[in-house]
Amino acid sequence: MSEVVNSACGSARWYLIQTKPRQEARAAEHLQRQQFECYRPVKHGEKKRGSRAPAEEELFPGYLFIHMDQASDNWYPIRSTRGVARIVTFGGMPVPVQDALIEQIRQRLLAPLAPPGRVAFQEGETVRITAEGFNDVEAIFLAADGDERAVILLNLLQREQKVSLPVSSLSRMQVQA
């Protein structure tokens, strides 16, 4: 859930706060208790096994945004807040984050999730693996493995191996003219 508390500052800007590991929610809660406006972007996922509540995943693990006036607000209470590791600075000064970027993040999280643009590959079609670590390795599409995964034939060390990957990590080979 996106955590936001309103602030009455007129010339306030957004700044980035680094939190202690897995303490984004704690830091946001304690900053809000001190009347700071915070934004902790999270995306909602499927329920975890054995849990009734939907899973929340931090969009930026280890970070949250705070809205304040750099000139007039006191930064010392922020540094000593539970869950806060530090204020992100450059040259010793906190660097403001553009309001437009924060608004863009909010809009993307509020937009209804569209079904992924599923590309229908044909059996035997040569595809490119775009997943991290594969660096555009070529493979042969064998079959769909549900809606989200695909079985491909990959040539590894002079041996062909069947591998199941997310469909989103595959792309069509570009036809060269």
Q: Is residue 68 part of a domain?
A: yes
Q: Is residue 6 part of a domain?
A: no
Q: Is residue 62 part of a domain?
A: yes
Q: Is residue 2 part of a domain?
A: no
127 CB contacts (<8 Å, ≥6 apart)? 121, 138, 139, 140, 141, 152, 170, 171, 172, 173
* H helix runs in the chain, sequence order: 24-33, 76-79, 99-110
pLDDT tens per residue, range 41-78:
998 766 566 666 667 789 899 999 999 886 556 788 89
* Mean pLDDT (whole number) for 131-155: 83
Q: Are residues 99 and 165 in the same domain?
A: no
Supply the CATH number for residue 144's domain. Answer: 2.30.30.30
Instruction: Write down the pTM of the prediction.
Output: 0.57
pLDDT at 7: 42
Q: Are residues 21 and 94 in the same domain?
A: yes
Q: How many domains are contained in the chain?
A: 2
Q: Is residue 44 part of a domain?
A: yes
Q: Is residue 4 part of a domain?
A: no
Structural domain boundaries, residue 163: 126-172
Coil vs helix vs strand at 27: helix
pLDDT at 6: 44
Q: Are residues 98 and 139 in the same domain?
A: no
pLDDT tens per residue, range 92-121:
888 899 999 999 898 888 865 544 555 578
Supply the CATH number for residue 36's domain. Answer: 3.30.70.940
